[in-house]
Amino acid sequence: MFKRIAKAFGKKKKPPRKAARKSAPGEGIRQLAAALPETGDAPAQQSGPATPPPPPEPSREDLISEAMRIRSEKAEMLNDLPARDRAKLRKLAEKMLLGGVGDEDADGNGGEKPGTPPRTRH
């Protein structure tokens, strides 16, 4: 009885998958026709719309100089800020980078409640 149930609900063999085509239909014929010597009865090959060549990639030196230029512009913007705003940005960056553990806050206890032990960095 159990064998009948196992056969009824058991896995059936699936037919093997066919290999995916490696080229488009008719592509092999086009390649063969291109390899044959030209004859007058062969159809002319169509050339698609000409695609413009990709723009040349910038050199490594160009990329570095552009990055340095942008960095100096950002540094100038930060230097133009008042000292109070720079201090706020510095604290914000420290909290983001260090996960909330920064140097002493204005109250001197590292931003923790009074009576709690100081947090340590791991």
Q: What is the pTM of this model?
A: 0.34
Residue 12 resides in a domain: no
Q: Say how many domains are in the chain.
A: 1
118 within a domain of the structure (yes/no): no
Q: How would you classify residue 10: left for phi > 0, otherwise alpha for psi between -120 and 50, otherwise beta?
A: beta
Q: Which structural domain range is residue 68 located in? A: 60-98
pLDDT in tens, 25-77: 667 777 777 777 666 655 556 566 778 888 889 899 999 999 999 999 989 98
Look at residue 75 and tell me if it is in a domain.
yes
Cα separation of the two ends of the chain: 64
